[in-house]
Structure 1
Amino acid sequence: MPLKYENQVELLKDILSEHQSDCCGTVAECEQLERVVKSLMVHADVHQDLKGVLQSIYSYSQDGKNSPELNSYITSQQNVLSQWISDIDSFS
């Protein structure tokens, strides 16, 4: 059963929040971010301003899963993770 829009947004925020607070993550989480972002990008309820954020999150997840040092990569992205979480809250 597919997740509803609200559940997808919450899942996205949860993974980003964990990356932000724990400074670590897994390739599987990056792949999950990619799937959720792809799904949200085609959803009619997504605010236009949020689409740019989603594209950035998609790039982050691709770079993360291909990084030889995923945890270091996540740590280097702390400022942008916080901003994305804030943006998601304001646009969703």
Structure 2
Amino acid sequence: MPLTHQHQLSLLKDILNEHQTECCGSVAECEQLERLVKSLMVNPNIQENLMSTLDEVYQYGQSGRNSPNLDNHILSHQENLSQWVDHVNSYC
């Protein structure tokens, strides 16, 4: 059974929130962020004003996956992570 877009948004928020609060993460989580965002961006139920945030999260996931120091990458995006969590949370 596939995840609904609400479940996907909730999972996205959870991963971003964990990165923000724990200041660490894994390459697998970055890859999961990319997959979630790709799926959400083609979903017609997603509101247009969420698309820019999804695009930013996708870029964050890609950069994190390729980063030589993922923890530093996460630390350098703390403000963005907080904003993204708040924005995604408003749709959950």
Tell me the amino acid that sits aligned with residue 69 of structure 1.
N
TM-score of the superposed pair, with normalisation by structure 1: 0.96
What stretches of structure 2 of length at least 5 have no aligned partner? none
Residue in 2 that maps onto 1:68:
68
Query: In structure 1, what is the Cα distance between the partners aligned to 2:18 and 2:79?
Result: 14
Structure 2-normalised TM-score?
A: 0.96
Residue 12, structure 1, aligned to residue 34, structure 2: no
Q: Amino acid of the residue matched to residue 56 of structure 1?
A: E
**Deviation for aligned residue 1:90:** 2.4
For these two proteins, the number of residue pairs brought into alignment is: 92
Give the superposition deviation at 1:91. Answer: 4.0
Q: Which aligned runs of 4 or more in structure 1 are off by greater than 4 angstroms?
A: none
Question: Could you tell me which residue of structure 2 aligns to residue 51 of structure 1?
Answer: 51
For 1:81, the equivalent position in structure 2 comes to: 81
Q: Determine helix, strand or coil for the equivalent of 2:64.
A: helix
Q: Distance in 2 between matches of 1:10 and 1:58?
A: 16
Given that 1:41 and 1:51 are in contact with CA atoms closer than 8 Å, whether structure 2 keeps it comes out as: yes
Alignment RMSD: 0.9
Partner of 2:21: 21
Distance across 2 between alignment mates of 1:2 and 1:74: 29
